Amino acid sequence: MTAAASAPTLDAIARPSGGLAMVAMDQRESLSTMFDQAGAGRPDRDAIVRFKLDVARALAPLASGFLIDRHYGFEDMRAGGLLPPGCGLILAADALEQKEGGPVEETSLDRVVLDETDLGGVAALKLLVIWRRDAHREQRVALAERFVAAARERGLLSVLEPVVRATPAEQRDGSWDLDAAIREAASELSPLGPSLYKAQVPSAGVGSPEELQHLSELLGARIQGPWVVLSQGVDRDSFLAAVTAACRGGASGFLAGRALWSDVVGRPDVPAALAAVSVPRLERLVEVVDAEARPWRQA
């Protein structure tokens, strides 16, 4: 049997409804920065792994998919059997260029994941792409194309996550338009054929429900295939409404991290805080996905 013939469908990371309610726990340098900003100092590796495993124990039973990186907790989580049968494992396949305390500037394919890692039990690979209207635009398209092909060759789903950024010139002259860039990136990258397109929330979740739904419909018209939204850049308290609007506008759900657990980082009792704060958030989001999301097979 060929790899392509044995590849799973999105049911591997979807709810029975056909919607997707997935937790992102693949943050690396950015998670260390969150600890520092919470007053807990920069954590060592064990502290990061411990936090990620606590999140998996608390949230994976509610999630249809769980995203993690190979650096912090992947092997521990898999060895511990922390993901229940209904929660598919997603592994980050991106190598990040990121200075301490700063945002991700560029990405590339992580050859350790693709060439040296046992991918048994993994349902999908994920790639973050920083999208800009600059001289490297064509190279990033080629990167995304290689990623989709690499996942397909390994019999795995591909989750493509473009995050748009302004160029210095766009910042200087005031021409930057977040929503126009999100749509332009979708027009350019979704035709490459990823199994799932992971998009930024239109308008960063700012606006009335009707406005956000309309912007989501405009975005969905540019995306070929099923898509979900991420939570980066969206106010944590606004994410539920943003997901609702996105699903009503054609999204199949979400793949989110910070909106679920960022205010739990640095707490003295993380498991208790996750149970009190993050679990109810995820429960409400799952309800929205089951009620409002476009089933992925209809996309």
Neighbours of 164 (CB within 10 A): 22
- What is the mean predicted confidence (pLDDT) over 105-126? 96
Residue 4, pLDDT score: 45
Identify the pLDDT of residue 6.
66
pLDDT score for 152: 96
Name the CATH superfamily housing domain 3-292. Answer: Aldolase class I (3.20.20.70)
**Is the pLDDT confidence value at 218 over 70?**
yes
* Identified catalytic residue from 52, 99, 126, 198: 198
pLDDT score recorded for residue 80? 86
Tokens at residue 270, please?
Answer: 């993380």
Quick one: pLDDT band at residue 7, thresholds 50, 70, 90?
A: confident
Clarify whether 198 is annotated catalytic.
yes
Q: What are all long-range contacts of 109-118, with beta carbons under 8 Å and residues at least 24 apart? A: 109/143, 109/146, 109/147, 109/150, 110/70, 112/70, 113/70, 114/150, 114/154, 117/70, 117/91
Q: Which is higher by pLDDT, 279 or 80? A: 279
Once rounded to an integer, what is the mean pLDDT over residues 91-101?
93
Is 125 strand, coil or helix? strand
pLDDT at 65: 98
For 62-66, 79-83, 90-94, 260-264, which range has the lowest pLDDT when averaged over its residues?
A: 79-83
Task: Give bridge partners of residue 128 from the DSSP assignment.
Answer: 161
